[in-house]
């Protein structure tokens, strides 16, 4: 009897190994924890299409929106770790929300990094009438008037809020946060001059900058961006060496997914990122390619957690 049990166990192990060797042998799903049309959704669809071509199996998009991306992220975290459920992951639900509130999932324990795909740079903007003509003057004006100025964000704890607080700390300025329900009303009040400034994505601000409705002082990443031609990095423009911040979008799998499968998915994502069509389509969404392999992505996520933890502590950010 014991031999029969051992033989059955060996067959089960062999079957599982065989299934892994054949991976993928059926369609995959990519959970997008946001509604259709949102940036992560658009990036996820571009990646799913190209990764499907590489893997030889279709990746079906499954939108599970709600709770700031936390509902869909939890679904992916609790899925069977067989490589057939992927997550279009992003800064908010993975790097920020778990630090500000209780979540049903633990991103470090329940999700496996596959590949960072891209970053979304932000612009520091004000109304054209704001007296500072450049980033250095902007910082000097805020320093000379502690407590006088306000800044807008798309909501308390949003990536835009975090990046603004990161800037405020590095610039050593005292300002007041005015949270809004979304970037549109926030930018509307910046344009009108009701609020002094904001950090918002290049995708949402550049049309206003080009139309003369907003003045841009710098881009949030540490290099010039093709998405914001002619606009210097804040690290240079405001003389804040080391300033480098952006939202990120990547691909993750359920923790426990075999390393061989994670690596195969990572290669598929890397191959997709080399497609000129993908580069063009991502640029149209307002994001820049920033591919990172699984191990590098894992280190990046640790750095993001450390940075956001420090920002939250320094600025005493709380979700009411």
Q: Which domains does the chain have, with CATH numbers?
A: 2-119+247-315 (3.40.190.150), 122-237 (3.40.190.10)
- What is the spatial distance between Cα 224 and Cα 222, in angstroms, rounded to a whole number? 7
**312 Cα distance to chain centroid:** 17
Residues 207, 210, 212, 216, CA torsion sign: positive
Residues 227, 42, 117, 273, CA torsion sign: negative
- Indicate the length of the chain as a whole number: 320
| pTM, to two decimals | 0.89
pLDDT, tens digit, 9 for 90 and up, residues 102-115:
999 999 999 999 99
Q: Beta strand 215-219 with 122-126: parallel, antiparallel or unpaired?
A: antiparallel
- What are the residue ranges of helices labelled H in 24-78? 39-55, 70-77
- The answer to whether 123 touches 216, Cβ cutoff 8 Å, is yes
pLDDT (tens, 9 = 90+) of the chain, 320 residues, equals: 444 444 444 444 444 444 456 899 999 999 999 999 999 999 999 999 999 999 999 999 999 999 999 999 999 999 999 999 999 999 999 999 999 999 999 999 999 999 999 999 999 999 999 999 999 999 999 999 999 999 999 999 999 999 999 999 999 999 999 999 999 999 999 999 999 999 999 999 999 999 999 999 999 999 999 999 999 999 999 999 999 999 999 999 999 999 999 999 999 999 998 889 898 899 888 999 999 999 999 999 999 999 999 999 999 999 87
Q: What is the pLDDT of residue 263?
A: 96
Max CA-CA distance within the chain? 86
Q: Beta strand 150-153 with 176-179: parallel, antiparallel or unpaired?
A: parallel
The conformation of residue 100, written as its DSSP 8-state character, comes to H
- The answer to whether 127 touches 192, Cβ cutoff 8 Å, is yes
* DSSP characters over 108-137: HHHEEEEEEEEEE-EEEEE-TTSS--SHHH
Q: In what order do the strands lie in the sheet with 28-32?
A: 59-63, 28-32, 85-90, 247-254, 111-120, 288-292
Q: 3-state DSSP call for residue 225?
A: coil
In a 10 Å sphere around its CB, with 0-12 CB exposed, 13-18 middle and 19+ buried, how is residue 133 labelled? exposed
Q: What is the pLDDT of residue 20?
A: 52
H/E stretch holding 126 reads strand 122-126
The conformation of residue 95, written as its DSSP 8-state character, comes to I
Q: What is the pLDDT of residue 319?
A: 85
């Amino acid at each position: 009897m014991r031999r029969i049990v051992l033989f059955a166990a060996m067959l089960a192990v062999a079957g599982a190994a065989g299934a892994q060797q054949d991976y993928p042998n059926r369609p995959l799903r990519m959970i997008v924890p946001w509604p259709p049309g949102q940036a992560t959704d658009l990036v996820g669809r571009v990646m799913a299409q190209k990764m499907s071509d590489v893997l030889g199996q279709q990746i079906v998009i499954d939108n599970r929106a709600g709770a700031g991306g936390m509902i869909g992220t939890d679904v992916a975290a609790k899925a069977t770790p067989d490589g057939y459920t992927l997550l279009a992951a992003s800064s908010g639900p993975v790097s920020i929300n778990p630090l500000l509130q209780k979540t049903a999932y633990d991103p470090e324990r329940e999700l496996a990094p596959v590949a960072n795909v891209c970053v979304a740079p932000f612009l520091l903007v004000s109304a054209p009438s704001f007296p500072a003509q450049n980033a250095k003057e902007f910082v000097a004006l805020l320093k000379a008037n502690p407590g006088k100025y306000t800044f807008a964000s798309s909501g308390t704890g949003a990536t835009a809020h975090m990046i603004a607080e990161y800037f405020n700390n590095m610039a050593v300025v005292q300002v007041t946060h005015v949270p809004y329900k979304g970037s549109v009303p926030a930018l509307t009040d910046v344009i009108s001059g009701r609020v002094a400034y904001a950090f918002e994505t290049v995708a949402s601000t550049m049309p206003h900058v080009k139309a003369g409705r907003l003045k841009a002082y710098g881009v949030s990443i540490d290099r010039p961006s093709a998405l914001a031609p002619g606009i210097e990095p804040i690290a240079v423009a405001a003389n804040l060496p080391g300033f480098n911040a952006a939202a990120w979008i990547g691909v993750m799998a359920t923790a426990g997914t075999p390393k061989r499968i994670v690596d195969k998915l990572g290669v598929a994502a890397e191959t997709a990122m080399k497609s000129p069509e993908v580069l063009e389509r991502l640029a149209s969404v307002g994001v820049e390619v920033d591919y990172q392999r699984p191990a590098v992505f894992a280190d990046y996520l640790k750095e993001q957690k450390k940075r956001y933890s420090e920002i939250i502590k320094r600025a005493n950010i709380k979700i009411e």
